[in-house]
Structure 1
Amino acid sequence: MTNHKDAIDVISENIAERIKHHVGSTFNLETSIPGLMFYRQNSPTQCTTCVAEPSIAVVVQGQKMMALSDKSFHFDRYNFLVTSLDLPARVQIKQAENAVPYLGFVLKLDFAVLSELLMRMPIDTKKPKAPSSGMGMGATTPDLLDACFRLIKLLDDEASAPILTPLIKKEIFWRVLNSDQGVRLKSIVSAGSHGLRIAKVIEWLKANFSESYAVEELAERAQMSKSTFHHHFREMTSMSPLQYQKSLKLMEARRLMVGEQIDASNAAYRVGYESPSQFSREYSRFFGNSPKRDVEEQWRLIEGQVKAS
């Protein structure tokens, strides 16, 4: 066990050096390897909302918390987080300082590759169990971390990257499929599974969150009864379909107000609200502040990060 932990420490420190080299004074970096993002923070952050994409999240220095409704996941270099669906969540950096910043990376999942790998697994391991939460924490292994390190090293090897990137990604996904978190991915990529049906409905919701709809319509899209659909949707996302839609609306409204400097009334209209007062009430309940105060706070945080860099 000690050797296992020591190996993780060594590989994590090597990855941390690579991330620091590439990120420099910025906080987030979308690398030249598709789907690979680097993250750095010099101090603990407040808890904030986000949409966690289907991905593997790995911490190599510091600690991070992700929360899905009433479920929270605290992880460091000895645990990784798998998200199998687009999920409204809360995120917070718990441990970071200037001398030892938080460092981590996220690799987006490729469901086409996962489906191909699932077909190559032994028959008795292919069948997924009933879908569980779309987010879960697994134990990091030296083999998984080493594959991630080899992928990251390709950022400095332009000649090899086009050939080796898809091969190493496939190895990473294979190791996750065979880990204690593999069942989450199998339930999403297995043809005909409840998880795959819920995932397809979520894709539709992401593209149409500003529209009005009935839960019966979503259940029909999933080819499930209303009660079965509602049960599996809540089990996988920790919220009802209507709560999920509302979360997407409010987070998009915040993005519009902060990123595009649109006022609250127009942002409300853009995301499908007819009543500005209802929008303000639900926004305040969701983010803990009125739209105006929340946007001001977001700008203070952004300005603080710019000054720190």
Structure 2
Amino acid sequence: MNTNQYIETLRDCVLKHRKREGDHATALPELTLHIRNAPTEPLHCIYTLSLAVTIQGAKQISYEGNILPCSAGQSMLTTVDLPVISHVTHASRHNPFVALVLKLDYTMLLQTASELNLDKPVRDIKYQPISIHDLDSGLTDALKRLIELQSDNQFAKSLIPLVEKEIIIRLLQGPHGLQLRHLASSGVPSSQILKVVTWLKHNFAQTVEMDELAEKAHMSGTTFRQHFKTLTGTSPLQYLKTLRLQEARDQMLMNGLDATQASSMVGYESATQFSREYSRLFGLPPQKDIQRLRKQQLPIR
């Protein structure tokens, strides 16, 4: 089979497991399947260390002024937790948008890169936290086998870790390898920044100074900010602000909080500042934005 035939087979495999529209969990927590019957509105969300594959249809990602289209037959690798704006651009009931997302294990990545003894990436090549490349038949086939193993009660437990490692090997040695090898070879700086990113995700409502975050990473303030922006594409302050605003949006939409309650919950002392920064990020003041989301019945993730 050629690559297009492998992609068609992968699409049929996903639709065999999940036909209705929506975001679907699988027996493997790291793997989710996604189907849309129509284009979606741009939504703010956070992409983690993961591989996202567009099997049919198309979507568009934007972050920090970068606009990245991802079409059928392409894979997108995100190497760090990153606030983005994402929306499906091509989908219909007869030709739905079909995709999968596989979260990658950082420890397995480091171990596998070490075992392969790969060359370190050239230093003067600019690192990007998101990369998009065409699928090849080997990676497509490995992903198909991973999905099929979800319903294999006899061999799934033994074979799934092997297929996951195969996928990481193929990523390291394929077009995405430059970004993954950069992440793996950065060693301590990258791992320390990732620890801070994880801490921020769980403690974003706390009042924190940038120097405190630098101390958590065991770096000077200047070095910390430099490494943080290299890895995430944004400054620590902007990253924290985006986390807070997205959580506030969740709380208003899902739990019925008003803007004052939500802003206080996520760490804002000034409701006016919250409203101003919310409007800048989401395009509308809090109340109007939530009304729009409820009217359109849009998920915010």
1:94 and 2:89 matched: yes
| 1:146-184 residue CA offsets vs partner (Å, 9 max, x unmatched) | 100111111232222111111101100111111222232
Q: 1:296 maps to which residue?
A: 291
Q: Cα distance, 1:101 vs. partner?
A: 0.5
Q: Give SS of 2:84's match.
A: strand
Alignment check: 8 A CA contact 2:55 2:74 kept? no
Q: Cα distance, 1:10 vs. partner?
A: 1.2
Q: Map residues 210-229 of structure 1 onto 2, 5 A cutoff.
A: 210-229=205-224
| 1:47-76 residue CA offsets vs partner (Å, 9 max, x unmatched) | 111111110000110111111211122112
Aligned counterparts of 1:106 and 1:180: Cα–Cα separation in 2: 18
Q: 1:42 maps to which residue?
A: 37
Q: Cα distance, 1:191 vs. partner?
A: 6.8
Q: 1:3 maps to which residue?
A: none
Q: 2:51 maps to which residue?
A: 56
Structure 1: stretches of 5+ with no match in the other structure: 1-5, 305-309
For 2:146, give the aligned amino acid.
L
Alignment check: 8 A CA contact 2:53 2:76 kept? yes
Q: 1:177 maps to which residue?
A: 172
For 2:282, give the aligned amino acid.
F
Q: 1:151 maps to which residue?
A: 146
1:125 and 2:110 matched: no
Q: Give SS of 1:33's match.
A: coil
Number of equivalences: 298
Q: Cα distance, 1:279 vs. partner?
A: 1.1
Aligned counterparts of 1:149 and 1:44: Cα–Cα separation in 2: 25
* More moved, 54-63 vs 216-225: 216-225
Structure 2: stretches of 5+ with no match in the other structure: none
Q: Map residues 1-309 of structure 1 onto 2, 5 A cutoff.
A: 7-122=2-117, 125=119, 129=123, 132-190=127-185, 192-302=187-297
* More moved, 46-55 vs 206-215: 206-215
Aligned counterparts of 2:233 and 2:70: Cα–Cα separation in 1: 20
Q: Give SS of 1:29's match.
A: strand
Alignment check: 8 A CA contact 2:56 2:73 kept? no
The percent identity for this pair of structures is 34
For 1:198, give the aligned amino acid.
I
Aligned counterparts of 1:204 and 1:190: Cα–Cα separation in 2: 22
Alpha-carbon spacing, 1:303–1:109, altered in 2? closer, same or farther (3 Å): closer
Aligned counterparts of 1:15 and 1:179: Cα–Cα separation in 2: 19
Aligned counterparts of 2:185 and 2:29: Cα–Cα separation in 1: 24
Across the aligned residues of Structure 1 and Structure 2, the Cα RMSD in angstroms comes to 2.0
Alpha-carbon spacing, 1:128–1:186, altered in 2? closer, same or farther (3 Å): farther
What is the TM-score of this pair, normalised by structure 1? 0.90
| 1:202-250 residue CA offsets vs partner (Å, 9 max, x unmatched) | 1121122112222222222223332222222223222211000000000
Alignment check: 8 A CA contact 2:21 2:37 kept? no
Alignment check: 8 A CA contact 1:119 1:126 kept? no
* More moved, 19-28 vs 37-46: 19-28
| 1:67-125 residue CA offsets vs partner (Å, 9 max, x unmatched) | 12111221123321111111100101111111101000000011121122122012x52
For 1:125, give the aligned amino acid.
D
Q: Give SS of 2:284's match.
A: coil
Q: Give SS of 2:127's match.
A: coil
Aligned counterparts of 2:148 and 2:94: Cα–Cα separation in 1: 24
What is the TM-score of this pair, normalised by structure 2? 0.92
Aligned counterparts of 2:122 and 2:262: Cα–Cα separation in 1: 41
